[in-house]
Amino acid sequence: MPQKPERQQRDQRKDGSAAPPLPEPLAVPVADSHTHLDMQEGSVEDALAKAASVGVTTVVQVGCDVNGSHWAARTAAAYDTVWAAVALHPNEAPRIVHGDPGGGGSRQGAREGGGTAALDAALAEIDALAALPHVRGVGETGLDYYRTGPEGVEAQHYSFRRHIDIAKRHGKALVIHDREAHADVLRILDEEGAPDTVVFHCYSGDEEMARTCADKGYYMSFAGNITYKSAQNLRDAVAVAPAELLLVETDAPFLTPVPYRGRPNAPYLVPITVRAMAEARKAAEDEVAAAIGANTARAFGY
């Protein structure tokens, strides 16, 4: 009956757990520069196949703690179209120092009673992983003042500085998580001396900060939240960012783009974000996709 599919579609839209449909494929292939396959439903093989079917031919799998970073490295070693980034998330460092296993990856800190020694032990594992050839990034690291209060700032700053050093010594891209901490992130990069390649994951600044990043040669990676009504600052930023510094990502399973916000994100939804970026730049979709593809390969050295 002709009405049945429409009802089914309405029912599916009401189901927050339903995977969004495949978007129209990109004519020019791109990479998802930041995803968390280990947090998504289904197999890695299925995720990569769905992504490739719409023109997302490479993904960067990002670790947020010691266990997740080991998983990222193993996965990148197993799949030709996956590269890895390894790190302790900014919110992970305070959990380790305080011996709190609630963050999922801090069990080592809890076993060792927390403290700087436990954090140093975790950082040593990240350092070892960063030396692997299929690990192309150190991140996501940085600062997060949204979820971690003042008591966690010292641990975050210490961990961030150590990650900067790891990235420089191994010649890997530094992948930055920056939430409500723009000034301190930029200041610490200046104080420590930034690595040759810096990527602001899920870019969250405004047009002014985009110009600052451009002046310093930092890549800006835009996620599905660029499609949100409240995110005019991101659309303004992507409009002025140099084409040679643009990346795209999902941060899946988070930040699903409109019109599927609230449903699970995955690498195959990158085309929606690419099109939103092209619209904000008043540029051709293929032109933006070509820049993103070349930039991601250059940033992560593949």
Residue 55 lies in a domain: yes
CA distance 147 to 126: 23
Scanning the structure block, which residue is given the tokens 């969250």?
A: 204
Query: Number of folded domains in the chain?
Result: 1
Residue 225's identity, in one-letter code, is N
CB 122 within 8 A of CB 285: no
Residue 220 pLDDT: 99
CB 75 within 8 A of CB 43: no
Please give the model's pTM, rounded to 2 decimal places.
0.91
Is residue 5 pLDDT above 60, yes or no?
A: no
Residue 100 pLDDT: 66
Strand blocks (E) in 145-260:
173-179, 198-200, 219-222, 246-248
Residue 272 lies in a domain: no
Nearest to 213 by CA among 191, 237, 180: 237
Residue 277 lies in a domain: no
Residue 32 lies in a domain: yes
Residue 109 lies in a domain: yes
Residue 209 lies in a domain: yes
CA distance 181 to 115: 24
CA distance 22 to 107: 38
56-80, pLDDT tens digit by residue?
Answer: 999 999 999 999 999 999 999 999 9
106-137, pLDDT tens digit by residue?
Answer: 334 334 457 889 999 999 999 999 999 999 99
Is residue 23 pLDDT above 80, yes or no?
A: yes
Residue 101 pLDDT: 45
- ∠ CA 225-148-17, nearest 5°, is 40
Q: How many of the other CB atoms lie within 10 Å of CB of 296?
A: 26
Where in the sequence is the domain holding 116, given as residue range(s)? 27-266+287-300
CATH code for position 197: 3.20.20.140
Residue 104 pLDDT: 36
CA distance 273 to 279: 10
Coil, strand or helix at 82: strand
**Once rounded to an integer, what is the mean pLDDT over residues 81-96?**
97
Is residue 298 pLDDT above 80, yes or no?
A: yes
Residue 105 lies in a domain: yes
Q: Residue 226: which residues within 8 A CB-CB, separation 6 or more?
A: 234, 235, 238, 257, 273, 276, 277, 280
Residue 233 lies in a domain: yes
183-238, pLDDT tens digit by residue?
Answer: 999 999 999 999 999 999 999 999 999 999 999 999 999 999 999 999 999 999 99
